[in-house]
Amino acid sequence: MTQTLFSPLVAGDLHLPNRIVMAPLTRSRAGAGNVPGPLAALYYAQRASAGLLISEATQVIASGQGYPSTPGIHSAEQIAGWQRVTAAVHAAGGRIVLQLWHVGRISHRSFQPGGALPVAPSAIRPAGQVFIGSGMADFETPRALETAELPAIVQAYVDGAANAIAAGFDGVEIHAANGYLLDQFLRDGSNRRDDAYGGSIENRTRLLREVIAAVTARIGAGRTGMRISPEQTFNDMHDSAPQALFNRVAEIASEAGLAYLHVLEGDIAGGPGAGVDYGAIRQRFHGAYLANHAYTGERAAQAIASGRVDAVAFGKAFIANPDLVTRLQLGAALNQADQATFYGGDAKGYTDYPLLAAL
| CA-to-CA separations, 184 to 142, 208, 289, 325, in angstroms, rounded | 12, 10, 23, 34
Tell which residue, 93, 26, 52, has the closest CA to residue 223: 52
Annotated catalytic residue, options 43, 44, 157, 180: 180
Collapsing DSSP states into helix, strand and coil, what is residue 267?
coil
Torsion sign over Cα 11, 323, 295, 274: negative
DSSP code at position 136: E
Q: Are 182 and 173 in contact (CB under 8 A)?
A: no
d(CA 101, CA 142): 17
Beta strands in 106-210 (DSSP E): 119-120, 129-131, 136-138, 143-144, 171-175
Per-residue H/E/C for 277-338: CHHHHHHHCCCEEEEECCCCHHHHHHHHHHCCCCEEEECHHHHHCCCHHHHHHHCCCCCCCC
DSSP code at position 110: G
Give me the amino acid identity at 298: E
Q: Are 20 and 325 in contact (CB under 8 A)?
A: yes
310 exposed, middle or buried (CB, 10 Å; 0-12, 13-18, 19+)?
buried
d(CA 348, CA 337): 11
Collapsing DSSP states into helix, strand and coil, what is residue 97?
strand
43 is a catalytic site residue: no
Q: Are 266 and 313 in contact (CB under 8 A)?
A: no
Q: Which residues are catalytic?
A: 180
